[in-house]
Amino acid sequence: MGEPLRIGMVGAGAISGQYLTTLERLDGVRLTAVTDLDPARAEAVAARMPGVAVAATAAELLARPDVDAVLNLTLPAVHAEVARAALDAGKHVYGEKPLATTREEAAGLLALAAGRGLRIGCAPDTVLGTGVQTARRAVDDGLIGTPVAATAFMTTPGHERWHPAPEFYYLPGGGPLLDMGPYYLSTLVHLLGPVGRVTGAASRPRPERVVGGGPRAGERFTSEVDTHVTGLLEHTGGALTTLVMSFDIHAARLPRIEVHGTEGSLSLPDPNGFDGPVDLHRAGGGWEPLPVSGGYRNAGRGTGLADLATALAEDRPHRASGELARHVLDVMLTLLDAARDGVWLPVAGDCGRPEAVRH
């Protein structure tokens, strides 16, 4: 590959540290500029990575000629706004999930990018690690026969237990489904293909939450979104997934993701990580660990951005794509609509399974 893709980072909050750790060791991308509403956070990034310029505003960063792509690490409510500004400035975009908070915003971003010949990528890229990709290889190779069903569980008592300023998790665009659902749903699309229709139920058993630590410990705030969501997803290939996403469960012994087929079952590691053991249970046998057979090794947050850079150089589709992110967003919003109305609803958007990462 030729020159690295030059990256301008908008937003230097808590998640940025994980991206910086990855960017520091990748050859195909290079951070050149950073901006944040808190100048001290941007200065801290520049101090950590010599040669990175601090831009006073996002507009100033977008105007820089040494920025080819924007890494959008802003709050979910402004993901679409920042992405649109970057595309208008002629920059590729890779952002944190969700891609946007509405279907209309997501569709508009993809249309704008296509019209300008630009790429949109979106987290999660954890699906490109060895955990999910080893499981995908097992599914593709027929080790469990025809997939029949899957289960996906994310249970926690709430992010206010550890985050010093957790309110944004409980605003529109947040909640357990939109915050953590992309990890699980992106994994399920890789394994089983896109989702065709959904139904479910949702509740808000504790509308008032309490900050658990930090200088604001004990402060109370109100959740504006449902915090326990149960869904049933029908994939276009016929498999059924049972999904539970909750900020209201104190403890559980549930698996993260399991996939069951006509000839066996798979148990996957936490999709919020990049690796971990994948276990196979063959019909009539017992559980056995699978050797790593796919995925980027030693991956971290930002691997999807590196994959986008390589895809540009090789003129191929990138894997952590805007199309996949839009489909996942559509699944989540449709599930919330179905839960509200108590009906099955079709998922309007569609996408293909991204290309696997093979060894």
Q: For residue range 298-357, what is the model confidence (pLDDT) as tens digits?
A: 999 999 999 999 999 999 999 999 999 999 999 999 999 999 999 999 998 678 899 999
- Whether residue 106 is found in the same domain as residue 238: no
Residue ending a domain, choose from 87, 102, 122: 122
> Is 12 a domain residue?
yes
**Which whole number is the average pLDDT over 263-272?**
97
Residues of the chain with pLDDT > 90: what percent? 92
Residues 117 and 134 in one domain: no
Same domain, 113 and 203: no
Is the pLDDT confidence value at 90 over 80?
yes
Q: Do 289 and 333 fall within a single domain?
A: yes
Same domain, 277 and 136: yes
Point out the catalytic residue in the list 97, 209, 228, 256: 97
The pLDDT value given to residue 33: 98
Show which of 93, 122, 151 is a domain's final residue: 122
218: β partners? none
Q: Are residues 83 and 160 in the same domain?
A: no
108 falls in which pLDDT band (50, 70, 90)? very high
Residue 299, pLDDT score: 96
Do residues 211 and 148 both lie within one domain? yes
Q: Is residue 76 part of a domain?
A: yes
Among the three residues 122, 145, 172, which one is the final residue of a domain in this structure? 122
Task: Measure the CA–CA gap between 124 and 278, rounded to whole angstroms.
Answer: 19
Is 136 in contact with 191 (CB distance < 8 Å)?
yes
Whether 55 and 79 share a structural domain: yes
pLDDT at 237 over 80: yes
Q: Decide: residue 284, CB within 10 A, 0-12 exposed, 13-18 middle, 19+ buried.
A: exposed
- Distance, in Å, from the CA atom of 181 to the CA atom of 195, rounded to the nearest integer, reads 14
331 touches 347 (CB < 8 A): yes
In a domain, 261, yes or no: yes
Find the Cα–Cα–Cα–Cα dihedral 114, 118, 122, 127, rounded to 10°.
90
Q: Cis omega (within 30 of 0) on the bond before 98? A: yes
Tell me, yes or no, whether 79 lies in a domain. yes
Q: 79: helix, coil or strand?
A: helix
Please tell me whether residues 18 and 43 are part of one structural domain. Answer: yes
CATH code of the domain covering residue 45: 3.40.50.720
Domain that holds residue 211: 127-295+326-346
Q: Quote the number of domains for the chain.
A: 2
| Residues 264 and 338 placed together within one structural domain of the fold | yes
Token pair recorded at residue 145: 């026969």
CB 123 within 8 A of CB 18: no
Which range is least confidently modeled, 55-59, 172-176, 253-257?
172-176
Is residue 312 domain-resident? no
pLDDT at 1 over 70: no
In a domain, 303, yes or no: no
Same domain membership, residue 223 and residue 132: yes
Does residue 101 sit in the same domain as residue 232? Answer: no
Q: What is the mean pLDDT of residues 255-259?
A: 97
Closest by Cα among 157, 351, 326 to 247: 157
The amino acid sitting at 58 is A
Instruction: Tell me the average pLDDT of the chain.
Output: 96
Q: What are the tens digits of pLDDT across the range 12-25? A: 998 999 999 999 99
Q: Is 91 a catalytic residue?
A: no
CATH of the domain at 171: 3.30.360.10
DSSP string, 157-200: S-GGGT-SSGGGGGSTT-HHHHHHHHHHHHHHHHHH--EEEEEE
Is 356 contained in some domain? no
Extract long-range pairs of 155-160: CB within 8 Å, 24+ residues apart: 155/244, 155/246, 155/249, 155/251, 155/252, 155/254, 156/246, 156/247, 156/249, 157/247, 157/248, 157/249, 157/250, 158/206, 158/209, 158/227, 158/247, 158/248, 159/247, 160/209, 160/210, 160/211, 160/212, 160/221
Residue 174 lies in a domain: yes
